[in-house]
Amino acid sequence: MKNLFYICFSLLLILSACDLNSESQEQNSDSQVEQEQTKNDQEDNESKDRDLFGMGDFEILKEKTDIGTYKIGPISLVIKSIAVERGELNNISEILQERLPKGEIEVIEVLMTMTSERKDIEFTQDNFQLTTDAGEHFNKPEGLMSTALNSDFAYTDSETGSGDYYVTVSYILGQSKAEALEEVEFHVKAPTDSNGESLGEDIHTTIPILPVE
């Protein structure tokens, strides 16, 4: 009887261990699936969607990355990406609603970093101009959807400057259509000193824009 008890007890332990092992494997499998789905979702979001300054969700239709580094007087400008996006400004205040377009819009967004070897220079949003291959010209970006540029933060020896100052400029398309765009000309005017004297040569670069796959 005692031997029979030990045999039954041993069988119960084995069955319990199998159940626990099976449950653990299922949990690990579920966890791996969830992690993979999360990773895929993040990759999809990074490649196709963007929250434009927290103003709304925008889908990236076309883009070009790693465009190049440009020297313009005391400023070093790295153009990291340019994207053509479509979306709706559905997360803005009533004041901004009065000043920005309603409904679905198409936007060109240029992301850059900059550093400066000197401070007290004039270099603002007005220095960034863009022309599409459809002939639509922008003398300056949309200020409410672009970085409020302060070049002193890009000064490499500044206590407040980190060396890499992120700058985004955005242009709301009117005449141009995202599907038809193939390239843009990006024109950056050189900074000036306090006397209005130019501190370098302007940048003119043609940037191709490719559909997002």
Chain mean pLDDT for the chain: 79
186 and 207 co-located in one domain: yes
- Given 35, 50, 65, the domain boundary residue is 50
Residues 85 and 172 in one domain: yes
> Are 149 and 190 members of one domain?
yes
Mean pLDDT for the stretch of residues 198-206: 95
Work out how many domains the chain is built from and give that number: 2
* Same domain flag for 129 and 63: yes
**Which segment of 21-30, 61-70, 171-180, 184-193 scores lowest on mean pLDDT?**
21-30
pLDDT at 36: 42
Q: What angle do CA 101, 107, 110 make, to 5 degrees?
A: 135
Could you tell me if 11 and 88 lie in one domain? Answer: no
User: pLDDT tier at 7 (50, 70, 90 boundaries)?
Assistant: very low
Phi, psi for 151 (deg, rounded to 5): -65, -20
Same domain, yes or no: 90 and 186: yes
Quote the CA–CA distance of 156 and 198 in Å, as a whole number.
Answer: 20
Cα distance between residue 77 and residue 71, in whole Å: 6
Q: Would you state the structure tokens that stand for residue 166, as one six-digit string?
A: 């992120």
Same structural domain for residues 136 and 91?
yes
Residues 88 and 37 in one domain: no
Tens-digit pLDDT profile for residues 34-47: 344 333 333 443 44
Interatomic CA distance for residues 16 and 10, integer angstroms? 10
Range of the structural domain that residue 70 is part of: 55-211
Average pLDDT of 165-180?
94
pLDDT tops 70 at residue 59: yes
Q: Is the same domain home to 66 and 113?
A: yes
**Confidence label for 85 from pLDDT (cuts 50, 70 and 90):** very high
Residue 44 or residue 168, greater confidence: 168
Q: What pLDDT is recorded for position 168?
A: 95
Contacts 24+ apart (CB under 8 A), 77-81: 77/112, 77/113, 77/114, 77/188, 77/203, 78/112, 78/113, 78/114, 79/110, 79/111, 79/112, 79/186, 79/205, 79/207, 80/111, 80/112, 80/113, 81/110, 81/111
**195 shares a domain with 130:** yes
Own/partner pairs, 48-55, CB within 8 angstroms, 24+ separation: 48/212, 50/83, 50/85, 50/109, 52/85, 52/87, 52/89, 52/107, 52/109, 52/145, 52/170, 53/145, 53/168, 54/91, 55/89, 55/90, 55/91, 55/92, 55/96, 55/145
64 and 44 fall within a common domain: no
Which domain CATH number covers 139? Answer: 2.60.40
- Read off the pLDDT of each residue in 19-29 and give the average, rounded to a whole number: 47
